[in-house]
Chain A
Amino acid sequence: RKEVEQDPGPFNVPEGATVAFNCTYSNSASQSFFWYRQDCRKEPKLLMSVYSSGNEDGRFTAQLNRASQYISLLIRDSKLSDSATYLCVVTGSSGTYKYIFGTGTRLKVLA
């Protein structure tokens, strides 16, 4: 079983739609959680950190469920510019320095 699992997609959604991605992780001792965004042939960029209490940044909402070991990302009112691959990141139990990446979920927002 992979340490971090994501549905690779692609998710093809119309502009204005709401879309949600989930990510599961296997190590219950993981301490920190993030969503990164990666555009084609570009480096990953931090989208948001994920906290147990949930956090929101504009159209983006991230949630963490430690009991079920999953992380979610909700995007409301999708824009064409949201088209990218969304990477779920979990830190290892040996320390928060070691990022473990999922393979990413590809989103395509259609006009």
Chain B
Amino acid sequence: GAGVSQSPSNKVTEKGKDVELRCDPISGHTALYWYRQSLGQGLEFLIYFQGNSAPDKSGLPSDRFSAERTGGSVSTLTIQRTQQEDSAVYLCASSRITDTQYFGPGTRLTVL
């Protein structure tokens, strides 16, 4: 079946611009997660959704970062006023409740 999909695959933006990253989870997966992987760093947890609510947003690095999920499916991660340190690969994962997480291919964000 179809896996987790993310768009765009690559995004280049200028410092100060807003960006939106999209995640389509595996059908039937109620849990959705966002992670960030910077060069040479491990994956860093950002936020967890169960259905449309986010019981854990503790990993969002600043108030410039926000995420929402609608219809228990698609999620959007928004970064406002991007900074160069936001450059990273943003990975989305989904799972059944809190089962094994399956990752999408990621969005590579470059802030110039």
Interface residues of A (CB under 8 A from B): 4, 34, 42-46, 49, 87, 94-104
Contacts and interface: CB of A to CB of B under 8 A. Distances in A.
A42 to B, nearest CB: 7
A97 B42 contact: no
Given A98-B45, A101-B42, A104-B42, A44 B98 contact: no
B56 A98 contact: yes
A68 to B, nearest CB: 21
A99 B31 contact: no
A109 to B, nearest CB: 22
Contact of A97 (B40, B44, B48, B102): B48
Contacts, number: 48
Interface residues of B, number: 23
A103 B45 contact: no
30 contacts: A42-B105, A43-B106, A44-B91, A44-B103, A45-B103, A46-B102, A49-B100, A87-B43, A94-B56, A95-B56, A95-B98, A96-B98, A97-B31, A97-B33, A97-B48, A97-B56, A97-B95, A98-B45, A98-B48, A98-B56, A99-B33, A99-B35, A99-B43, A99-B45, A99-B93, A100-B45, A101-B35, A101-B42, A101-B44, A102-B42
Q: Which of B42, B50, B106 has the most CB of A within 10 A?
A: B42
Contacts of A98: 45, 48, 56
Interface string B47-59: 0101000001000
A43 to B, nearest CB: 4
B100 A46 contact: yes
A4 B42 CA distance: 10
Nearest to A8: B40
Contacts of A43: 91, 103-106
Given A43-B91, A46-B100, A103 B41 contact: yes
Nearest to B3: A43
